Amino acid sequence: MEIGFIGLGHMGQAIARNLLKTGHRVTVHNRTRAKSEDVAKDGATIAEKPAGAAANAEVLFTMLADDAAVEGVLYGKEGAAAALARDKLHVSLSTISVALSRSLAERHGEAGQFYVAAPVLGRPDAAAEGKLFVVAAGKKAAVERARPLLEAIGQKLFVLDERPESANLAKLGANFLLAAMLESLGEVFALTRKAGIDPQHYLDILTTSMFPAPAYKNYGGMIVADKFEPAGFAMPMGLKDVGLALDAAKALAVPMPFASLLRERFVEGMAAGLEKSEWAAIARIAARDAGL
């Protein structure tokens, strides 16, 4: 199949490569050309402009950092949306706002194009191994068309309902749960470390008993080691996603006091110079505030 792929960060590169491995022809575009060249070594064709990636695509994937990047790539100069043919499909993998996803659904619909929101759960290493979890939503026909590709890039595909923005909200909710876990771990390790309890031993107890989930083990390990660089998912991304969850919650009139406190924690992290650190580094803020 002819595939267009725009956005070749850590996640995007890994996913594009998996599509290539599955035997599809993939035309890639990335703002910084060097990253396109990396993927070209594995067989991708390079498009100089977003429009070039969309022009011949049956399915156009986008995997971008935020709302502004998605808007720009689709509707900016030489944008992809106008280049995508009628009846073709755009699959948005990015973690974007509920509001933008709803708006994309409308605009693609007006252009006679299909649209699926399919944000992914997992970090770059999981993406490379094809072990992402994919949460998709959109019109049934569109999702069915995307299904084989989404199954190829992840270990499991969950299909929500026919409103694409449901998938985006589900993703934002999952990231909020992770962020809340990070803050909780940060506080509890500040407490127990200051009490003289061995952090690694305590983490082992927690993850052997009540919390045997990879998220607790992996992020807990970072916190115990106090090692947050290089970042797979950096603090500004955490701040962005909690902000998007709060925006969605405000629009629906749902108070989220934990999310709100988390937002301030990430801001505190930015003020402390942790913008290049893994988002789990809010644990370092909890430790700092405890005088550790």
Catalytic residues: 171
> Max Cα separation, the chain?
64
Nearer to a copy of itself by Cβ, of 48 and 161: the residue is: 161
Q: Using the rule CB under 8 A, is 284 a contact of a copy of itself?
A: no
* Binding residue (CB under 8 A) for a copy of itself from 112, 141, 212, 276: 212
Q: Which residues pair with 4 in a beta bridge?
A: 27, 60
Could you tell me whether strands 59-62 and 2-6 are parallel, antiparallel, or unpaired per DSSP bridges? parallel
Judged by CB under 8 A, which stretch of 61-69, 77-85, 88-96, 262-270 contacts a copy of itself? 262-270
**CB of residue 26 vs a copy of itself: minimum separation in angstroms?**
26
* Binding residue (CB under 8 A) for a copy of itself from 161, 225, 227, 276: 161
Q: Using the rule CB under 8 A, is 194 a contact of a copy of itself?
A: yes
* Binding residue (CB under 8 A) for a copy of itself from 78, 202, 226, 233: 202
Find the binding residues for a copy of itself in span 20-59 (CB under 8 A).
none
- Pairwise CA distance, residues 123 & 279, whole Å: 12
- Pairwise CA distance, residues 83 & 158, whole Å: 29
210: Cβ contacts below 8 Å, ≥ 6 apart: none
74: tokens are 């689709």
* Binding residue (CB under 8 A) for a copy of itself from 239, 244, 280, 281: 239
**CB of residue 257 vs a copy of itself: minimum separation in angstroms?**
5
Find the binding residues for a copy of itself in span 86-105 (CB under 8 A).
98
Q: How many of the chain's residues bind a copy of itself (CB under 8 A)?
A: 77
- Pairwise CA distance, residues 150 & 193, whole Å: 43
- Pairwise CA distance, residues 123 & 144, whole Å: 25
Nearer to a copy of itself by Cβ, of 75 and 133: the residue is: 133
- Residues 97 and 127: beta-carbon distance below 8 Å: no
Judged by CB under 8 A, which stretch of 38-46, 53-61, 81-89, 160-168 contacts a copy of itself? 160-168
Judged by CB under 8 A, which stretch of 3-11, 76-84, 104-112, 158-166 contacts a copy of itself? 158-166
**CB of residue 89 vs a copy of itself: minimum separation in angstroms?**
22
Q: Which uninterrupted H or E stretch holds 192? A: helix 164-194
- Report the SS3 class of residue 105: helix
Separation of CA 222 from chain center: 20
